[in-house]
Amino acid sequence: QIRERLGSLIYGVDEDTLEGAALQAASDQGWNLVAVETGLGGALTRRLANLQAENLLGVEAVELAENELPAFLKEIQEKYNTRTALGIAAFPEKRIAELVLITPDGAKARQLSFGGHPGLLPRWAVNLGLNWLRRVAKGER
């Protein structure tokens, strides 16, 4: 009954993780992936580090300024020759997160305001980015 009401908001149970569900959804589409983080203090890298996902070809942590993520992510996608790339940037001083997702259907970008404590911004941004990847890979746009 819970699954019936919540549908795709549920990504797993018990030991399932959001990062595992996101990479599995990408794999189900035949997408290999590279990820880039900036301003997250390694939060995305740590979340992806323990996964044994064959479709994850790399994770790079770099320092970028606001609005530099889309162009840099495209370069990294080309460097790794991947079908998909996920970029997540956090700017705590401005309380914003930038998310960029490149898939075979094209590139999409979002800039989101964060109203909570700046120390929580990296976790929030990573969760949003991974869930966005999961939902797009499942065709939920």
Cα→Cα distances 95→89, 90, 129, Å: 11, 8, 16
- What is residue 140's predicted lDDT score, i.e. its pLDDT? 84
Calpha distance 92→28 (Å, rounded): 34
Burial class (CB in 10 A: 0-12, 13-18, 19+), 78: exposed
CA 30 to chain centre: 17
pLDDT digits (tens, 9 = 90+) for 35-84: 999 999 999 999 998 888 899 999 999 999 999 999 999 999 999 999 99
The model carries a pTM of: 0.90
Kindly compute the dihedral angle of the four CA atoms of residues 37, 103, 54, 12, in this order, to the nearest 10 degrees.
80
